[in-house]
Structure 1
Amino acid sequence: MKKRFTEEQIVRILQEAERAQTDQEIIRKYNISDTTFYRWKKLYGGMGVSEVKRLKELERENAKLKKLLAEQMLVNEALKEVVEKKW
């Protein structure tokens, strides 16, 4: 599913919502659902664009580290099986 808005755009929309009189104005302006708006508010509320970029970078790094850990655990498991075999 393709996202219509990037994280940076979402943060800017939420910042605009803080200045608007009602949330409904923003919801209508950007043609998003109430649920989407409040989910964004929960996830990104109070964040700046730079914070969102840093969060995204940390999430990518975390995913990479998890992958490396999983691969290393597989190698360790394979080595244990080889060592436990009786020759």
Structure 2
Amino acid sequence: MNRQKRHTPEEIIRLLREHEGSGLSQEKFCQQKQISVQTLHRWRKKYGQMDETDAKRLKALEKENAELKKMYADAMLGNKILKEALEKSCKRGSAS
């Protein structure tokens, strides 16, 4: 199987800057770096105006966002469990 390499945002930004300064055509540059032209366009769209510190900050924010989403999901699950327990408790109390 052909395994794709994952580039870090910092590597992507370095590659974009390298392409800007190389004077090579997109096709030649992509061929040398073994990436597709479509990948280069996608990277430019996402990371084109960033520098490496911006990319590190983006990565940290994405990690924080994922943690917050997990915390929210856990809180909603806990809330649902408490609500169900309260409903069962109320039904038992009114049945007596």
Tell me, yes or no, whether TM beats 0.5: yes
Tell me the percent identity. 46
Amino acid at match of 1:3: K
Contact between 1:8 and 1:53, CA under 8 Å: does it hold in 2? yes
Write out aligned runs for 1:54-73 (5 A).
Answer: 54-73=57-76
How many angstroms does 1:8 deviate by?
Answer: 0.9
Task: Decide whether aligned partners of structure 1 residues 14 and 75 sit closer, same or farther in structure 2, where only a CA change above 3 A counts.
Answer: same
Q: What 5-or-longer segments of structure 1 have no aligned partner?
A: none
Q: What 5-or-longer segments of structure 2 have no aligned partner?
A: none
Q: Which residue of 1 aligns with 2:22?
A: 20
Q: Which residue of 1 aligns with 2:37?
A: 34
CA RMSD of aligned residues (A): 1.5
Number of aligned positions between the proteins: 87
Task: Decide whether aligned partners of structure 1 residues 65 and 2 sit closer, same or farther in structure 2, where only a CA change above 3 A counts.
Answer: farther
2:35 aligned with 1:5? no
Amino acid at match of 1:15: R
Task: Decide whether aligned partners of structure 1 residues 83 and 4 sit closer, same or farther in structure 2, where only a CA change above 3 A counts.
Answer: closer
The two structures have a TM-score, normalised by structure 1, of 0.88
Tell me which stretches of 4 or more aligned residues in structure 1 moved more than 4 Å: none
How many angstroms does 1:59 deviate by?
Answer: 0.3
How many angstroms does 1:24 deviate by?
Answer: 2.7
The two structures have a TM-score, normalised by structure 2, of 0.81
How many angstroms does 1:51 deviate by?
Answer: 0.5
Amino acid at match of 1:75: G
